[in-house]
């Protein structure tokens, strides 16, 4: 089972940063990040994962803005910069950062992640996103967000170029031989000369081939085009399905797309996003969940719900029934529709609805004793709903510490999780092969 730690300074719960056991002063705090990385590595986690965006959200929702939802990101590090620092204080844990294909350039991204892979000695990963927050466009000389189909078309070309650039040099292209005066072997470089619809990139990359060949690529799109891009390009998918049935359907769907690209089912790992509150007992977990919910005043909860469903919710009575919003016009995403459907189905009030989504943005949520949480994880894993989990643990860092103290030993006892790192690189630990260089069939031998 793969375990990834969502390593953003705030956990997924809107109120968690106010909890007495949460970090003090979490905004852009390097010492906290170092401590979290060490905690995850001591727990033998596969990787740290940093979601990211290029803009501050929700300036138009004053109560939520002041209290901050974890995805608003008003005070965070640029993720590759942070992971470069964390690479210096860790040895085994993988380091995965989010970078957009919509508002960045393939040469820059290939270079940044090649550098991170060298710095970390083969532990880098790139979470390829097409940008979820439309407002980010305004920071990149655009009037509005690029339409989704164009974003994905650009993303397909972008990924092809990045991989091509990572293959610029044979693995043994840099002898750096003082005696002969040969720094590099000119027969072992390949200039990409890519010309497509969105990009023209000459190459070669100004970095030796990364230790992993290609840093591990994550993606997360849930649309048809998003899933197809994952099947064509990604090594790992970050999925967010709220039920085991939906997760199983997505799992089979994604794995079923692989043969078309000449790939085996094992070559794409699916990690299910989950918020976990684990405690000594079920009652203790419930108590912590209540404490966290109580840290979110109604005005903040309403702004948060408004953000998630795309409708101003303060217009409705807090303790009245959730209104029958017009489904067609609800929410910027499928998440909004799912929240409305759940509220109507379960006849929730407005207050109950925002409390229901505080911990996990309508995604998956495991809560309980170590055995209860391990049972759920085991079931999802064995019944082919996922190959592992992307874990957000309120409260940061104590939620992750508690998970490692209570649940990890239980998973290890059941033979589901490693007790020691065995691989050298992130690819090794994830069970992913090192890609051949497409221009140099084997180290030292140029392709036809």
Ligand X SMILES: Cc1cc2nc3c(=O)[nH]c(=O)nc-3n(C[C@H](O)[C@H](O)[C@H](O)COP(=O)(O)O)c2cc1C
Residues in touch with ligand X (CB under 6 A): 51-53, 98, 100, 129-133, 220-223, 226, 238, 240, 273
Query: CB 230 → ligand X: shortest distance, Å?
Result: 9
State the nearest-atom distance from the C-beta of 55 to ligand X, in Å: 9
* Helix, strand, coil percent content, the chain, rounded in steps of 5: 40, 15, 45
CA distance 73 to 56: 6
- Which bin fits 280, alpha (ψ -120 to 50), beta or left (φ > 0)? alpha
Quote the distance between the C-alpha of residue 152 and its chain's center: 18
Minimum distance, C-beta of residue 366 to ligand X, in the bound complex (Å):
17
Alpha-helical runs (H) found in 56-147: 62-67, 79-87, 106-119
Q: Which is nearer to ligand X, 149 or 283 (CB)?
A: 149
CB nearer ligand X, residue 131 or residue 353: 131
Rank residues 137 and 170 by Cβ distance to ligand X and give the closer one: 137
Contacts of 143 (CB under 8 A, 6+ apart): 137
Which C-beta is closer to ligand X: that of 5 or that of 302?
A: 5
Residue located via tokens 């070309």 = 157
Question: Residue 258's closest CA among 300, 225, 227?
Answer: 227
Q: Quote the least distance from Cβ 134 to ligand X, whole Å.
A: 10
Taking CB atoms, the residue at the shortest distance from ligand X is 226
Q: Which is nearer to ligand X, 50 or 400 (CB)?
A: 50
| Among 120, 119, 144, CA closest to 131 | 144
Question: Minimal distance in Å, beta carbon 77 to ligand X?
Answer: 14
In whole angstroms, how close is the CB of 102 to ligand X at the nearest point?
8
Q: Judge contact between 88 and 169, C-beta under 8 A.
A: no
For 404, residues 6+ apart whose C-beta sits below 8 A from its C-beta are 39, 40, 42, 43
Shorter beta-carbon distance to ligand X: residue 83 or 173: 83
Q: Where are the alpha helices (DSSP H) in 167-297?
A: 224-233, 244-256, 282-294
Distance separating alpha carbons of residues 433 and 32, to the nearest angstrom? 33
Q: How far is the CB of 444 from ligand X (least distance, A)?
A: 38
CB of 235 to ligand X, least distance (A): 16
Q: Which is nearer to ligand X, 129 or 295 (CB)?
A: 129
d(CA 207, CA 113): 10
Q: Are 139 and 440 in contact (CB under 8 A)?
A: no
Q: For 317, phi and psi rounded to 5 degrees?
A: -60, 135
Quick one: 64 or 129, whose CB is closer to ligand X?
129
| Minimum CB–partner distance for residue 108 and ligand X (Å) | 17
Indicate the residue among 23 and 238 with the shorter CB distance to ligand X: 238
Cβ contacts of 41 within 8 Å, gap of 6 or more:
90, 91, 92, 93
At 201, give phi and psi (nearest 5°): -135, 120
Please, are residues 9 and 26 in contact by the beta-carbon 8 Å criterion?
Answer: yes
Helix ranges (H only) for 189-271 are 224-233, 244-256
Give the nearest distance from C-beta 246 to ligand X in angstroms.
13
Taking the least distance from each CB to ligand X, the nearer of 251 and 322 is 251
């Amino acid at each position: 089972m793969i375990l990834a730690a969502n390593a953003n300074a705030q956990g997924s719960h809107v109120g968690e940063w106010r909890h007495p056991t949460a970090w003090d002063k979490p905004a852009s705090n390097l010492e906290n990040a170092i401590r979290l990385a060490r905690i995850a590595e001591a727990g033998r986690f596969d990787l740290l994962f940093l979601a990211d965006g290029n803009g501050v959200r929700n300036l138009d929702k004053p109560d939520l803005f002041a209290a901050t939802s974890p995805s608003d990101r008003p005070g965070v590090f640029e993720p590759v910069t942070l992971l470069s620092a964390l690479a210096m204080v860790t040895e085994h844990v993988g380091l995965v950062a989010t970078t957009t294909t919509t508002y960045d350039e393939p040469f820059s991204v290939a270079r940044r992640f090649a550098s991170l892979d060298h710095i970390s000695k083969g532990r880098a990963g790139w979470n390829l996103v097409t940008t979820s927050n439309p407002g980010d466009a305004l920071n990149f000389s655009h009037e509005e967000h690029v339409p989704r189909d164009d974003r994905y078309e650009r993303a397909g070309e972008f990924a092809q170029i990045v991989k091509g650039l990572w293959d610029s040099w044979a693995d043994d292209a840099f002898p750096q031989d003082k005696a002969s005066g040969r720094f590099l072997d000119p027969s072992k470089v390949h200039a990409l000369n890519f010309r497509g619809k969105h990009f023209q990139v000459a190459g070669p990359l100004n970095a030796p081939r990364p230790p992993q060949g290609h840093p591990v690529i994550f993606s997360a799109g849930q649309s048809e085009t998003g899933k197809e891009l994952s099947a064509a390009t990604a090594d790992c998918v970050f999925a967010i399905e709220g039920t085991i049935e939906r997760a199983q359907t997505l799992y089979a769907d994604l794995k079923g797309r692989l043969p078309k690209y000449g790939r085996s089912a094992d070559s794409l790992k699916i990690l299910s996003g989950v918020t976990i509150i684990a405690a000594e007992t079920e009652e203790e977990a419930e108590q912590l969940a209540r404490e966290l919910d109580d840290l979110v005043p109604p005005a903040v909860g309403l702004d948060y719900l408004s953000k998630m469903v795309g409708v101003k919710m303060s217009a409705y009575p807090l303790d009245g029934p959730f209104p029958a919003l017009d489904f067609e016009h609800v929410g910027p995403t499928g998440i909004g529709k799912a929240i409305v459907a759940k509220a109507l189905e379960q006849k929730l009030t407005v207050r109950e609805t925002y409390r229901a989504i505080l911990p996990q943005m309508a995604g998956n949520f495991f809560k309980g004793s170590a055995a209860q949480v391990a049972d759920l994880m085991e079931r999802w894993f064995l019944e082919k709903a996922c190959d592992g989990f992307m874990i957000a643990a309120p409260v940061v860092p104590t939620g992750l510490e508690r998970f490692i103290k209570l649940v990890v030993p239980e998973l290890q006892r059941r033979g589901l999780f490693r007790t020691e790192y065995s691989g050298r690189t992130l690819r090794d630990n994830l069970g992913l092969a090192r890609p051949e260089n497409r221009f140099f069939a084997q180290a030292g031998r140029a392709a036809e």
